[in-house]
Amino acid sequence: MTKGELRKQIKKRISLMTPQEKFEASVECSEALIQKREFQEADIVLSYMATENELNPMYVSIKTLMLKKTLAFPRCVPDSNRMEYYALKENLTIDEQLEEGSWGISEPKTFLPQIHEEDLAGKKVLVIVPGVAFNSNGARLGHGAGFYDAYLSRLRKTEGIELYTVGMCFSCQLEDDIPQEEHDIKIDFVIYSSL
């Protein structure tokens, strides 16, 4: 099966889930991640704003701020496959710090401090990576633009960073056989719902 065919198949599976099932799965996976050492020890959590076809890690994002950890969201760089992360401020609501960005996904406003790779040296960083499909070996199928593969490749070259990557997904997004290419970056572990 090609990557495109698998994306269509997974999208169809997700479309059969009710909003309540998506919500319950998001809470279940978020609670599981919060219990993991990688989250508890992280200085910085790089999260994302979910689309309707993705598991929503907002509970993890809120908990990150409550614990006084640095929380950042990605912003796509126009006309490229690059994205940059911006750290949210504690004294504003999350919604006040976001605006509609590329692909219709909420992105952080540019008045927020940008996190550069060199700023992460000596830090424990947890990256929550969205995707279309995942497997237990760390393979991930993204949406096809290569944003996360490019960013994770840059992060892995950063000296002195203790990096953990996690995929969070609905159980219907698990696939044993995910087509992989040389540039596809594997993640460290996957948390998936029981639904």
Contact 98, 72 (CB under 8 A): no
Q: CA-CA distance, 18 to 87, in Å (whole number)?
A: 32
Contact 127, 163 (CB under 8 A): yes
Q: CA-CA distance, 36 to 93, in Å (whole number)?
A: 26
Residue 143, pLDDT score: 87
Residue 162, pLDDT score: 96
Q: CA-CA distance, 30 to 52, in Å (whole number)?
A: 16
Per residue in 14-32, pLDDT (tens digit) is: 999 999 999 999 999 999 9
Residue 186, pLDDT score: 94
Q: What is the full DSSP assignment across 74-87?
A: EEEPTTSS-EEEEE
Is residue 171 helix, strand or coil?
helix
Per residue in 83-128, pLDDT (tens digit) is: 999 999 989 999 999 999 877 899 999 999 999 999 999 999 999 9
Contacts of 65 (CB under 8 A, 6+ apart): 71, 88, 90, 94
Contact 70, 87 (CB under 8 A): yes
pLDDT category at 1 given cuts 50, 70, 90 is confident
- Section 52-68 average pLDDT: 95
Per residue in 137-150, pLDDT (tens digit) is: 999 999 888 899 99
